[in-house]
Amino acid sequence: MKDFQKLLLANKSWAAHQADDDPTFFTKMAEGQNPEFLWIGCADSRAPADRITGTEPGQIFVHRNVANLVLHTDFNMLSVLQYAVEVLEVKHIMVVGHYGCGGVKASMGNSDLGLINKWIRNIKDVYEKHHDELEAIADEDLRTDRLCELNVLAQVDSLLKTTIIQKAWKNGNKPYVHGCILELKTGKIKQLIHVEPKDLSSIANIYKYDV
Task: Indicate which residues carry an active-site annotation.
Answer: 42, 44, 46, 98, 101
Candidate segments 7-15, 17-25, 39-47, 126-134, binder of Co ion by CB under 5 A = 39-47
| Nearest distance from C-beta of residue 208 to Co ion, angstroms | 30
3-state secondary structure the chain: CHHHHHHHHHHHHHHHHHHHHCCCHHHHHHHCCCCCEEEEEECCCCCCHHHHHCCCCCCEEEEEECCCCCCCCCHHHHHHHHHHHHHCCCCEEEEEEECCCHHHHHHCCCCCCCCHHHHHHHHHHHHHHCHHHHHCCCCHHHHHHHHHHHHHHHHHHHHHCCHHHHHHHHCCCCCEEEEEEEECCCCEEEEEEEECCCCCCCCCHHHCCCC
Q: Which is nearer to Co ion, 47 or 85 (CB)?
A: 47
Candidate segments 43-51, 73-81, 137-145, 153-161, binder of Co ion by CB under 5 A = 43-51
The 93-132 site mask, x for binding Co ion (CB under 5 A), equals --------x-------------------------------
| Nearest distance from C-beta of residue 123 to Co ion, angstroms | 10
If you compute the radius of gyration of the chain from its CA atoms, what whole number of angstroms results? 19
| Nearest distance from C-beta of residue 179 to Co ion, angstroms | 15
Number of residues forming the site for Co ion (CB under 5 A) = 3
Q: Which is nearer to Co ion, 147 or 164 (CB)?
A: 147
Q: Which of 38, 40, 42, 177 forms a contact with Co ion (CB under 5 A)? A: 42
Q: Which is nearer to Co ion, 44 or 157 (CB)?
A: 44
Candidate segments 22-30, 36-44, 75-83, 157-165, binder of Co ion by CB under 5 A = 36-44
| Nearest distance from C-beta of residue 105 to Co ion, angstroms | 9
For CA atoms 105, 108, 113, 114, the dihedral sign is positive
Q: Which is nearer to Co ion, 57 or 187 (CB)?
A: 187
Q: Which of 37, 38, 39, 44 forms a contact with Co ion (CB under 5 A)? A: 44
Q: Which is nearer to Co ion, 44 or 145 (CB)?
A: 44
Among 102, 161, 97, 107, which residue's Cα sits nearest to residue 134? 107
Q: Which residues bind Co ion (CB under 5 A)?
A: 42, 44, 101
